[in-house]
Amino acid sequence: MHMKKQILSLCVGAALLAPHFATAQKTLQVAVNAPKGDIQPTMWGVFFEDINMGADGGIYAELVKNRSFEFFKPMMGWTVLGNKATEGDLLVVNRYAEKPSNPRFLRATVRNAAKGEMGLVNEGFKGMGFKKDLRYDFSVLYRQAAPGVKLHVELVDSTSKVIGSTVVALPKSGEAWEKATASLTATATVPKGRMNLWLEGSGRVDLDMISLFPTDTWKGRPGGMRADMIQMLADMKPGFLRFPGGCIVEGYDLSQRYQWKNTIGPVEDRQLIINRWNFEFAHRPAPDYFQTFGLGFFEYFQLAEDMGAEPMPILNAGMACQFNSAELVPLDELDPFVQDALDLIEFANGDTTTRWGRERAKMGHPAPFHLKMLGIGNENWGPQYIERLKVFTKAIKEKYPDMVLITSSGTDPDFKPFSPEGFNYLDTTLRTMKADVIDEHFYRTPDWFFANANRYDNYPRNGPKIFAGEYAAQSDKPVSIRNKNNMQTALAEAAFMTGMERNADVVNMASYAPLFAHSEGWQWTPDMIWVDNLRAFGTPNYYVQKLYSLNRGNKILPVTLDKENVAGQDSLYASAVLDTKTNEVIVKLVNASGKAQDVALNLQGAKKLAAQGKLTVLQASDLNMVNTLNDPMALAPKESTIAVKGKNVKLAAQPYSFSIVRIKM
């Protein structure tokens, strides 16, 4: 709907095969003196979901896998060391009645053991990454009738060589759980290490929450996040942070839905559940993928605040994933779900005299998080969604009339057999309901993205705003393991984003998805940022997102090629913005063809331009080019200057390039 078929985009494929030669100059008119709408500060943001080992084993810096023995297989991640332990000496015990949120612990019966005779090794998440000279903090909860056992913690490399060790005394006794801590420093950098835990002495001791964190976490927070990964997000200066997903919000069934109240408070009380991506794809099984919620809603809010991004939580709408069990909460049983939404707003914004505001303060943040928007449901569809959405909307708007609600338009406007009928039904109904924001998702081929660079040109200017909440060009096809984050997909997204930017009066927010993937632990590709245990790199798609975000401006400028929107003519795509705070004109141009193209920028009505502008270019000689862990910057933006003559700039748009020209007025 609202879509003019883009015939010219069909030329892209042919043009890509053309030899590299410059063609006759085209003129791009930018109406600097006629801004036509505002660009929201939220325009370009990030979408986080715990998929591809995004949280546990990813940004959550905990190195110990299955630290509290709650995985389906209680000893998953752990292997017994030494030959002293006999049957039952290392036993996982379940105290569900006493502590349902964290029922299991390890009971060790130690009989006159010397170091090296009885212990456990934890394999980490695809190994543990250790850095030379970095301090690591170990902690454990323990309980015992009488002291008698001490622990030896060792960091080891893949050959079992010890590269750091410490001794942990367990001095206290009694019924209560106590915490013991110790620190140790790695003497070598190791990408795939492990942690040994030896028990020495005699006695019976209960152990739980066996944990190891690096100390170089984001903002140095103990038990915090992996700084290198978060820095890549912060560098983008995202306008918003959407969390916690994605399908993870919905769950395979409702028991596996994301429940924010289970993710706050002391980490040992946060009830672990299976990660739905554990078993979603038979071709990428991840039997050790769980959500420990060490990273929960408090941490997401805090991260958004750290980055200056608006927090955008998405809540379950009383519906499990409709691709999976499609389980539904009956309408007359929806109250607890709606209450969760109301309580979340209080948790984020309520003062410290309120029940949930107090919880936030107890976690160390008495000031509100200034939540302004909230998503109800992810990729839900059909009348069942609308019925539930109406209940949420009424209750939330009654109490918080200014809260902006983000609503789902289903899975994908072009996804068969859901669409076009499914999408049109939701779109029409949501507009009739006067929804605030409609969330659209696109996992389509590069050709689709090029062809849809004009998607929003004819969208209604009044009514709901659009949040392009998930999109990524698929070099093969959706959910294919052959999808690559190559230059072709990055250019296709950059072209599509010119259309969003030209229509930023309608499209108020957009985010690429998914965000992170571990090179050994992924389920879904393509992804914006790839990591291993020690390294992280941005794909060309990351650089496209970052360049848009860092060059966002606050006013839309009309830009035309021969009086038409530039959406595919000669494989060119363009948008332009004004930044009234820095007084700069910013022009973005995608040349999706394999030939250089001379483009004359004419900045109509601009007064007194600087003689020189800044040119940033992301370019590849080959559309299949990718970045890798070993060559992370093969494709990265390059900066130079560009001459400005009066109101004119001559831009030689390189083959397969995304260029940004930034000129001071």
What is the footprint of ligand AHR within residues 523-542 (CB under 6 A)? Answer: 524
Q: What DSSP state is assigned to residue 272?
A: P
Binding residues for ligand AHR, total number by CB under 6 A: 11
Q: Are 261 and 340 in contact (CB under 8 A)?
A: yes
Is 245 a binding residue for ligand AHR by CB under 6 A? The answer is yes
Pick the closer one to ligand AHR by CB: 258 or 450. 258
When binding is defined by CB under 6 A, the residue of 193, 246, 446, 538 that contacts ligand AHR is 246
Q: How far is the CB of 138 from ligand AHR (least distance, A)?
A: 34
**417: its two tokens:** 């057999």
Cα→Cα distances 350→301, 308, 315, 403, 610, Å? 14, 20, 18, 13, 48
Span interacting with ligand AHR, options 202-210, 214-222, 241-249, 417-425, rule CB under 6 A: 241-249
DSSP structural state of residue 248: H
Between 246 and 313, CB nearer to ligand AHR? 246
Question: Which residue number places its CB atom closest to ligand AHR?
Answer: 246
Q: Which stretch binds ligand AHR (CB under 6 A): 85-93, 243-251, 400-408, 632-640?
A: 243-251
Q: Which amino acid is at 150?
A: K
For 408, half-sphere exposure in the C-beta direction (CA atoms, 13 angstrom radius) is 32
How far apart are CB 321 and ligand AHR at their closest, in Å?
9
* Rounded CA separation 508/240 (Å): 11
Amino acid in the structure at residue 351: D
Element (H, E) at 395: helix 382-399
Determine the Cα–Cα distance for residues 247 and 257; give it in Å rounded to an integer.
9
Q: Which is nearer to ligand AHR, 208 or 250 (CB)?
A: 250
Cβ of residue 496: shortest distance to ligand AHR, in angstroms? 17
Q: Quote the least distance from Cβ 477 to ligand AHR, whole Å.
A: 14
Name which position in 77, 251, 514, 613 contacts ligand AHR (CB under 6 A).
Answer: 514
Contact with ligand AHR (CB under 6 A) among 113, 506, 513, 586? 513
For position 379 contacting ligand AHR by CB under 6 A, the verdict is yes
Four-residue CA torsion sign, 374, 377, 383, 389: negative
Beta bridge partners of 604: 31
Residue with smaller CB distance to ligand AHR, 307 or 314: 314
| Residue number with CB closer to ligand AHR (310 or 470) | 470
Q: Write out the two tokens for 424.
A: 């049109």
* Residue among 251 and 350 whose Cβ is closer to ligand AHR: 251
Q: Which is nearer to ligand AHR, 319 or 557 (CB)?
A: 319
Least Cβ distance, residue 149 to ligand AHR (angstroms): 44
Q: Please, which residues bridge with residue 90 across strands?
A: 108
Which residue from 590, 475, 494 is spatially nearest to 548, judged by alpha carbons?
Answer: 494
Nearest Cα neighbor of 255 from 320, 314, 330, 339 is 320
Q: Among residues 102, 256, 378, 551, which is the contact residue for ligand AHR, using CB under 6 A? A: 378
The answer to whether residues 316 and 249 touch, using CB atoms and an 8 Å cutoff, is: yes
Binding mask 319-358 for ligand AHR (x = CB under 6 A): ----------------------------------------
Task: Report the nearest approach of ligand AHR to the CB of residue 89 (Å).
Answer: 43
Q: What angle do CA 310, 313, 318 make, to 5 degrees?
A: 160
Strands (E), 11-65: 23-31, 37-38, 46-47
Active site members: 379
Question: Residues near 421 by Cβ (< 8 Å), separated by ≥ 6?
Answer: none
Ranges of H-type helices in 503-605: 540-550
| Residue with smaller CB distance to ligand AHR, 35 or 538 | 538
- Sign of the alpha-carbon dihedral angle for 293, 150, 192, 187: positive
The single residue among 209, 247, 264, 304 that binds ligand AHR, judged by CB under 6 A, is 247
User: Does 470 sit near ligand AHR (CB under 6 A)?
Assistant: yes
Contacting residue, 16, 49, 157, 512, with ligand AHR by CB under 6 A: 49
> Is-contact 125 53, C-beta < 8 A?
yes
Distance CA 642, CA 640 (A): 7
Burial of 65 (0-12, 13-18, 19+ CB in 10 A): buried
**Minimum separation from the CB atom of position 325 to ligand AHR (A):** 15
Closest approach of ligand AHR to the CB of residue 490, in Å: 17
By the rule CB under 6 A, 312 interacts with ligand AHR: no
φ, ψ for residue 262, nearest 5 deg: -85, 0
Nearer residue to ligand AHR within complex by CB, 214 or 245: 245
Which alpha helices (H) appear in 238-296, and where do they start and end? 247-250
Given the complex with ligand AHR, which of 489 and 551 has the nearer CB atom? 489
Per rule CB under 6 A, is residue 44 in the interface with ligand AHR? no
Helices first, then strands: H and E counts in the chain? 11, 35
Name the segment binding ligand AHR (CB under 6 A); options: 144-152, 240-248, 286-294, 487-495: 240-248
Stretch that binds ligand AHR, among 38-46, 168-176, 244-252, 494-502 (CB under 6 A): 244-252
Query: Please, what is the minimum distance in Å from the beta carbon of residue 378 to ligand AHR?
Result: 5
Residue 322 CB, shortest distance to ligand AHR, in Å, is 11
Residues that bind ligand AHR (CB under 6 A): 49, 51, 245-247, 378-379, 470, 513-514, 524
